[in-house]
Homo-oligomer: A and B are copies of this chain.
Amino acid sequence: MITKSHCQTLDQNDALAPLRNEFDLPKNVTYLDGNSLGAQPKAALTRAQQVITQEWGQDLIRSWNSAGWFDMPSRLGDMLAPLIGANPAEVVVTDSTSVNLFKALAAALHLQAELHPHKKIIVSERSNFPTDLYMVQGLTQWLDRGYRLELVDSPEQLNSAINEHVAVALLTHVNYRTGEMLDMTSLTTHIHAQGALAIWDLCHSAGAVPVELNAANADFAIGCTYKYLNGGPGSPAFIWVAERHLAKFTHPLSGWWGHTAPFAMQPEFTPTASIRRALCGTQPMISLALVETGLAVFKKTSMTALREKSLALTDLFIQLVEQRCANHPLGLVTPRSHSKRGSHVSFTHPHAYPIIQALIERGIIGDYREPAVLRFGFTPLYTGFVDVWNAVEALRDILDTQAYQINATRHAVT
């Protein structure tokens, strides 16, 4: 049986433990929801002050140049690139994940319409985060050219569903609900063998697990920066385009930031040759600037070290729940296999919602996901092994004492 003292020893031997000091976390809280909203880097407030009082307040309009505001989407892309196995010239931070998905899907369909006009199917998973599916529906219904979204019910069905009729496979690398991680390399190989293009959603991957977009030969990727990358609430998302597709990357959100000469004020749109053609309109600079403080922390470690600790944390959590809550109807949703696991762990329980509420009241912040899922995110930058112990201990006590209101009303938790 694992003991608390064992967890303490793990913390003492954890080379990443000092990184917790990079973040301001509330006292008396065990935060296991960094997969929904990452913690606040201590540098964020200072950076916001600098942008607000100096760059905006004092330097005003000049900061578009002098403070590098205009270049920030590319500069942040350069910082993000090594975390997702990308070249700096392939990624920008901008807009929302949904809007970036729209651009990537539009561009992918545009490419396929030239190469394989008969391919009309877009494959995804029914369990994908809904906004991805909504964006496909919005785009295809409106375009009205016979494109059809086909949803599979489990990852095992992907290989057969992705056949010669498929134009694009839109796959989320780590599932938001189950924590299951797909094999990006083998799936991308299969997708290409069928003449389709691969769009990868990295919302629960970037900063959470090693991602090698170029090694996997992926085509397009999108993702958010406010989960494991700690960019701040709703901070702008990213879009990645494989260099081989860049010259033909065409999407209808052709705003002035994607123009080859944005300040020449020409009435005709001519996209710039670089990844900045994925930009559209003027970006929210204060939110964008804080993404830098989140990304900067990653320079102090490596995705390899983070992955090792992430697996140790999720292994420990699964083991402790199974040891200490064995007599309760908890069902592990997340794969046990390391190669199929992201950085969060989900269990089902018939009373999942009130149990999460009871945990939150005790300062253990996980979250609830429909239907009946208790979800816990483990962010190796600031989660320790005793945190895992404390979370399981609170869960055990709540379950043992039934210290939850079965009839608690469900309400919105993002």
Contact = CB atoms under 8 A, between A and B. Distances in A.
**Chain A interface residue number, banded:** 35 or more
A288 B287 CA distance: 8
B283 A286 contact: no
Oligomer copy total: 2
Given A24-B53, A70-B414, A234 B143 contact: no
B234 A288 contact: yes
A71 to B, nearest CB: 10
A48 B47 CA distance: 11
Given A98-B255, A134-B256, A269-B133, A285 B234 contact: yes
Nearest to A366: B61
A261 to B, nearest CB: 9
A63 B233 contact: yes
B151 A267 contact: yes
A237 interface: yes
A69 B234 contact: yes
Interface string A87-129: 0000000011111001000100010000000000000001011
A353 to B, nearest CB: 12
B413 A64 contact: yes
B44 A60 contact: no
Contact of A414 (B64, B98, B131, B288): B64
Contacts of A360: 62
Interface in A191-228: 224, 226
Interface in A127-171: 128-131, 133-135, 137-139, 141-143, 151
Contacts of A133: 267-269
A122 to B, nearest CB: 13
Contacts of A52: 40, 44-45, 48, 232, 290
Contacts of A234: 69, 282-285, 288
Contact of A106 (B65, B95, B142): B142
Contacts of A178: none
11 contacts: A26-B58, A39-B57, A44-B57, A98-B280, A129-B256, A130-B267, A133-B269, A138-B254, A235-B284, A262-B412, A286-B290
The 8 closest A-B pairs by CB, nearest first: A96-B281, A98-B281, A138-B254, A284-B287, A98-B255, A131-B256, A233-B285, A142-B252
